[in-house]
């Protein structure tokens, strides 16, 4: 994947030495409707592609069985797939199809009963809890349905919490940029109870991005928001992908949200039954009718 800046040389990626990678020039890349194959001629590539391997998360033969014997439930059955850096993937599927299980396993929150997962070049299957905790802290960002902000902290304190926990200081410029991006310049000192749901979720998105993680996992990020606030949050996630080169993997029930992604994976009965660009919200709705 390439990132394009204007001829002025303004760089869209805040830290071009980091995170951004994708196919090298000449290598195939996934079709992506939001980034045309023939970009306008006043766009120039502005980021050095630093890593040839475009996949930041891979699942290989991943199965997850809950329970044993007659009561066993196969929540995931032999899933093999990979997630390219700097792309936005939505995961949909009927209730019970394995979405949460897949996301938890990809994020090292649960272990597969068969198969392996790699994250940022490292096999995470088999790591102990301490190693997984560190890996999640260093490499992942999370956005949840219910925001999960700490009520006693201000918006800004919540935003920088992942860094505070890791004993790191936020880069002031990056912090300012994030606060501006999520449109909360005048809410930095507010507590969550003084913010709307949409504002709280924008803080949560900024919090997920603050450490420039390898992957942001979002679990129903618009599940508790009205349509306007949902649109704002989806625009932010899209912007994180397009401007910061962020990789985002999002579980959602919302066809409008899924339509913002580059790729839509659909699950049924623990397996991938469809994997393609989502198209617009109406197309996602039509697709889901064939799957439910
Ligand atoms: P989704 O997120 O798509 O609704 P889940 O991943 O939560 O689906 O669940 C997939 C299947 O695994 C379902 O049949 C569910 O009942 C089962 N399941 C999930 N978690 C557990 C668990 N802790 N114990 C037993 N069965 C579970
Ligand atoms: Mg679920």
Mean pLDDT of 268-291: 96
Mean pLDDT of the chain: 85
Residue 28 has pLDDT above 90, yes or no: no
Among the listed residues 14, 106, 6, the one whose alpha carbon sits nearest the alpha carbon of residue 56: 106
Q: So what's the architecture of 83-111+124-291 in CATH?
A: 3-Layer(aba) Sandwich (3.40)
Is residue 101 lining ligand 1, measured as CB closer than 6 Å?
A: yes
Residue 183 has pLDDT above 60, yes or no: yes
Tell me, what DSSP letter sits at residue 185?
A: G
Is residue 146 lining ligand 1, measured as CB closer than 6 Å?
A: no
How does residue 53 score in pLDDT terms, banded at 50, 70 and 90? low
Mean pLDDT of 8-31: 41
Atom 24 of ligand 1, nearest CA residue? 66
76 CA: nearest ligand 1 atom: 10
Q: What is the pLDDT of residue 240?
A: 94
Is residue 108 lining ligand 1, measured as CB closer than 6 Å?
A: no
97 CA: nearest ligand 1 atom: 3
Among the listed residues 109, 156, 143, 100, the one whose alpha carbon sits nearest the alpha carbon of residue 270: 100
d(CA 167, CA 290): 49
Q: Residue by residue, what is the 3-state secondary structure of 40-94?
A: CCCEEECCCCCCCCCEEEEEEEEEEEECCHHHCEEEEEEEEEEEECCCEEEEECC
Residue 66 has pLDDT above 60, yes or no: yes
Among the listed residues 112, 88, 90, 115, the one whose alpha carbon sits nearest the alpha carbon of residue 101: 112
Is residue 98 lining ligand 1, measured as CB closer than 6 Å?
A: yes
Instruction: Tell me whether residue 38 is exposed, middle or buried, using C-beta atoms within 10 angstroms of its C-beta: 0 to 12, 13 to 18, 19 or more.
Output: exposed
Whether residue 223 contacts residue 192, with contact meaning beta carbons closer than 8 Å, is answered with no
Whether residue 197 contacts residue 224, with contact meaning beta carbons closer than 8 Å, is answered with yes
Mean pLDDT of 114-132: 95
Atom 22 of ligand 1, nearest CA residue? 66
Q: What is the pLDDT of residue 195?
A: 95
Ligand lying closest to the C-alpha of residue 219: 2
Atom 12 of ligand 1, nearest CA residue? 75
């Amino acid at each position: 994947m390439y990132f394009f800046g204007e001829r002025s040389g303004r760089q869209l990626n805040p830290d071009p030495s980091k995170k951004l990678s994708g196919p090298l020039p000449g290598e195939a890349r996934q079709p992506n409707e939001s980034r045309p194959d023939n970009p306008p001629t006043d766009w120039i590539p502005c980021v050095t592609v630093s890593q040839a391997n475009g996949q930041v998360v891979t699942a290989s033969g991943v199965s997850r069985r809950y329970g044993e014997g007659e009561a066993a439930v196969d929540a995931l059955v032999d899933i093999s797939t990979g997630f390219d850096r700097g792309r936005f993937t939505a995961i949909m599927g009927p209730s019970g199809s394995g979405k949460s299980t897949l996301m938890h396993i990809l994020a090292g929150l649960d272990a597969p009963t068969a198969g392996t997962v790699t994250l940022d070049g490292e096999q995470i299957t088999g790591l102990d809890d301490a190693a997984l905790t560190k890996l999640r802290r260093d490499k992942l960002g999370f956005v949840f349905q219910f925001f999960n902000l700490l009520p006693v902290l201000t918006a800004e304190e919540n935003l920088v919490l992942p860094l505070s926990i890791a004993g790191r200081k936020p880069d002031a410029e990056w912090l300012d940029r994030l606060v501006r991006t999520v449109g909360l310049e005048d809410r930095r000192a507010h507590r969550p109870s003084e913010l709307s749901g949409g504002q709280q979720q924008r803080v949560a998105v900024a919090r997920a991005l603050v450490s420039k993680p390898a992957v942001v996992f979002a679990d129903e990020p618009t599940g508790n928001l009205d349509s306007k606030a949902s649109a704002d949050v989806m625009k932010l996630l899209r912007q994180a992908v397009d401007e910061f080169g962020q990789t985002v993997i999002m579980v959602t029930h919302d066809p409008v949200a899924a339509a913002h992604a580059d790729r839509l994976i659909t699950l049924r009965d623990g397996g991938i039954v469809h994997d393609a660009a989502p198209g617009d919200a109406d197309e996602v709705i039509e697709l889901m009718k064939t799957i439910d």
